Amino acid sequence: MEKIILTGDRPTGRLHVGHYVGSLRRRVELQNSGEYKKIFIMIADAQALTDNFDNPEKVRENIVEVALDYMSCGLDPAKSNLFIQSQIPELCEMTTYYMNLVTVSRLQRNPTVKNEIQLRNFETSIPVGFFSYPISQASDITAFKATTVPVGDDQLPMIEQTREIVHKFNTIYAPVLVEPEALLPETEACRRLPGTDGQAKMSKSLNNCIYLADSADDVKKKIMSMYTDPQHLLVSDPGHLEGNTVFTYLDAFCNDGHFERYLPDYANLEELKAHYQRGGLGDVKVKKFLNNVMQETLEPIRKKRGELEKDIPAVYEVLKKGCEIARQEAAQTLSEMKRAMRINYFEDEDLIRRQAEKYNA
Ligand code: TRP
């Protein structure tokens, strides 16, 4: 079977380095591998509205930010179709039919939804749209017959729920839909990159994110004030790696080439870690190294973004074209679904003839 990718992000802010190591970097590699017949990258504005319905301007403003972040990381519109969820009405139609295949209690058991309900204090009054977004996410994935969904592991319950819907649809109606598989980030550090303050979650309100669009100066400042090991007071003290943000970032970002270029006293990260644990290696030296590593990674992204920012209408044009292609694709799947569900009345001449015969025998 030909391999197809669908994935996406909610446009609620600029993308940060957590998105980069957790998914963006991988998407670009997959795009350039040539292994995928089609690639769809979706800006999930309709999903963003499920918990930002009272702040549509925020979602609207961030569409172009996310598109710029995508393209500056190397997602190439000639290879990856970039589009906006709300412009594909077929997705809503699919969601309506999938709702018949999912129970309320199954949604209540979805760990991601459970978690987010708590986070947003929705316990006493959950908007139906928010509660049912896993079903709408199943439409996003199945509309494109995606085989592969590169996501963070918080999204695993969504893929699981999608697979259940696909299985049910195919069993009850006809084998139209494809069961997708999640593609998770390579390492633990990439899966859960902490905020610069050491908090597990990167968030705008905590002011602990490094954004892809941050200036070189801002990145440096954020790195130099990063959380490390509070017990590592003197350079000579042994340092701890557990929960040490600087080392988690190095795990996610650095390779042996970086040591050659910026810190040739060490062959690799293992040696650096060993020295830190022994004592005698100061935080500032490690932070300066991390800064070099991250600047090397982020500089080309920043440069590309600067170029793209000069022609914003062109970015919207990319999205518009992407929406047209995505729409054709979704319409095709929806039409197959409706045939399988026996709701294709006007396509079915046999049906009309049989009904006519019944009355005119
Ligand atoms: N839920 C995803 C997130 O919060 C965004 C998303 C919407 C998505 N639809 C999707 C991801 C389909 C993968 C596939 O980041």
- Do 237 and 261 fall into the same domain? yes
Buried b (16+ CB within 10 A) or exposed e, 193-222: bbbbebeeebeeeeebbbbbbbeeeebbeb
| Ligand 1 atom with minimal separation from the 137 CA | 9
Instruction: Extract the tokens encoding 319.
Output: 């999205």
CB atoms within 10 A of CB 130: 18
- Ligand 1 pocket residue status of 208, Cβ below 6 Å: no
| Residue 123 resides in a domain | yes
| Ligand 1 atom with minimal separation from the 47 CA | 7
- Do 335 and 267 fall into the same domain? no
- Ligand 1 pocket residue status of 6, Cβ below 6 Å: yes
| Residue 339 resides in a domain | yes
pLDDT by 10s per residue, the chain, length 361 = 899 999 999 999 999 999 999 999 999 999 999 999 999 999 999 999 999 999 999 999 999 999 999 999 999 999 999 999 999 999 999 999 999 999 999 999 999 888 888 887 777 788 999 999 999 999 999 999 999 999 988 899 999 999 999 999 999 999 999 999 999 988 888 988 999 999 888 888 888 999 999 999 999 999 999 999 999 989 999 999 999 999 999 999 999 999 999 999 999 999 999 999 999 999 999 999 999 999 999 999 999 999 999 999 999 999 999 999 999 999 999 999 999 999 999 988 888 888 889 888 7
- Do 227 and 163 fall into the same domain? no
- Do 118 and 166 fall into the same domain? yes
- Ligand 1 pocket residue status of 333, Cβ below 6 Å: no
The parent domain of residue 56 ranges over: 4-192+312-353
d(CA 115, CA 239): 34
Tell me the CATH number at 236: 1.10.240.10
What's the pLDDT score for residue 29?
95
Q: What angle do CA 345, 347, 350 make, to 5 degrees?
A: 80
- Do 252 and 266 fall into the same domain? yes
| Residue 197 resides in a domain | no
Instruction: Extract the tokens encoding 355.
Output: 């009904």
Test site for ligand 1: of 137, 184, 202, most ligand atoms within 8 A of the Cβ? 137
DSSP string, 4-54: EEEEEE--SS--BHHHIIIIIHHHHHHHHHT--SEEEEEE-HHHHHTTTTT
Q: Are 246 and 256 in contact (CB under 8 A)?
A: no
* Residues 211-268: tens digit of each pLDDT: 999 999 999 999 999 999 999 989 999 999 999 999 999 999 999 999 999 999 999 9
- Ligand 1 pocket residue status of 41, Cβ below 6 Å: no
- 257 alpha carbon, distance to own chain's centre: 28
Single out the residue of 53, 56, 55, 23 nearest to residue 41, CA to CA: 23
- Do 285 and 316 fall into the same domain? no
- Do 158 and 298 fall into the same domain? no
| Residue 316 resides in a domain | yes
| Residue 359 resides in a domain | no
- Ligand 1 pocket residue status of 140, Cβ below 6 Å: yes
Single out the residue of 67, 64, 90 nearest to residue 80, CA to CA: 67
| Residue 208 resides in a domain | no
- Do 123 and 38 fall into the same domain? yes
d(CA 237, CA 281): 8
Q: Give me the helix-helix angle, 156-172 and 133-142, nearest 10°.
A: 70
Which of helix, strand or coil describes residue 121?
coil
- Ligand 1 pocket residue status of 318, Cβ below 6 Å: no
- Ligand 1 pocket residue status of 44, Cβ below 6 Å: yes
Number of domains in the chain: 2
Tell me the CATH number at 109: 3.40.50.620
Q: Are 149 and 155 in contact (CB under 8 A)?
A: yes
| Residue 206 resides in a domain | no
- Do 176 and 226 fall into the same domain? no
| Residue 201 resides in a domain | no
- Ligand 1 pocket residue status of 143, Cβ below 6 Å: no
- Do 152 and 15 fall into the same domain? yes
* Residues 26-66: tens digit of each pLDDT: 999 999 999 999 999 999 999 999 999 999 999 999 999 99
- Do 256 and 345 fall into the same domain? no
Show Cβ contacts of residue 154 under 8 Å, excluding neighbours closer than 6 positions. 112, 115
Q: Whose CA is nearest to atom 9 of ligand 1?
A: 137
pTM > 0.85: yes or no: yes
- Do 36 and 141 fall into the same domain? yes
